[in-house]
């Protein structure tokens, strides 16, 4: 008698067509777990600067990015003219070539569907260095970039409004 196991259902994470600029929580890991690969003054400055440049050019709109020793977390919006995979692939290719960083294949992404979920991930990212015991306060961690959050704020806001012209989340 053959045992038939139920097929695992995979959720579709692709954004709906009406979402012009989906918001993503992304984790990218290096190939060397538990070894400091990213948090060196010059290297971290270049990594943060590269994301800041993507942000300024409109390749993606970074709300927050925090570098840890062997991975990074970022919340970003990606305009409909490109995909999250294309943005991450391009950035990883550049950083591997220019900074000799060895990244794990792929990345983890989660589309943020609600403001409470996005706010929870935002707090999680900022508190990551605190949970790891590196600093006592998120403000003390030097290896971070605040993009649209710095411009519009994130904590304490009740709900975002969506700016159609730029295709990114705007905060009152």
One DSSP character per residue, 95-124 reads HHHHH---BPSS-EEEEE-SHHHHHHHHHH
Residue corresponding to tokens 């990213």: 38
Averaged pLDDT for residues 135-152: 81
| CA-wise closest residue to 125 among 114, 113, 110 | 110
Task: Report residue 46: phi and psi, to 5°.
Answer: -70, -40
- Calpha distance 79→170 (Å, rounded): 14
The Cα-based distances of 115 to 50, 60, 72, 92 in angstroms read 27, 19, 22, 28
pLDDT in tens, 78-116: 887 888 999 999 999 999 999 999 999 999 999 988 888
- Are 143 and 38 in contact by the 8 Å Cβ rule? The answer is yes
Please state the rounded mean pLDDT for residues 37-58. Answer: 92
Question: pLDDT class for 163, splitting at 50, 70, 90?
Answer: very low
* Parent domain of 80: 23-154+166-170
Report how many domains make up the chain. 1
pLDDT, mean over the chain = 81
Inside any domain, residue 10: no
Query: Residue 4 falls within a domain, yes or no?
Result: no
Confidence of residue 147 (pLDDT cuts 50, 70, 90): confident
In a domain, 160, yes or no: no
- Give residue 117's pLDDT band: very low, low, confident or very high (50, 70, 90): confident
pLDDT at 158: 34
Q: Strand, helix or coil at 53? A: helix
Q: Indicate whether 1 belongs to any domain.
A: no
Domain of 79: which CATH number?
Answer: 3.30.70.1290
The confidence score (pLDDT) of residue 70 equals: 97
């Amino acid at each position: 008698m053959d045992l038939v196991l139920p097929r695992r259902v995979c959720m579709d994470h692709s954004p709906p067509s009406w979402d012009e600029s989906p918001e993503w929580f992304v984790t990218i890991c290096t190939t060397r777990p538990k070894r400091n690969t990213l948090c060196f003054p010059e290297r971290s400055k270049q990594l943060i600067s590269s994301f800041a440049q993507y942000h300024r050019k409109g390749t993606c709109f970074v709300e927050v990015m925090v570098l840890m020793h062997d991975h990074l977390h970022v919340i970003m919006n990606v305009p409909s003219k490109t995909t999250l995979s294309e943005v991450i692939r391009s950035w990883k290719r550049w950083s591997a070539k220019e900074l000799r960083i060895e990244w794990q294949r792929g990345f983890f992404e989660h589309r943020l569907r609600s403001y409470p979920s996005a706010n929870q991930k935002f707090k999680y990212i900022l508190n990551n260095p605190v949970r790891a015991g590196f600093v006592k306060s998120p403000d003390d961690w030097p290896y971070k970039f605040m993009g649209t959050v710095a411009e519009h704020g994130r904590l304490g806001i009740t709900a975002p409004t969506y700016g159609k012209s730029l295709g990114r989340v705007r905060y009152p």
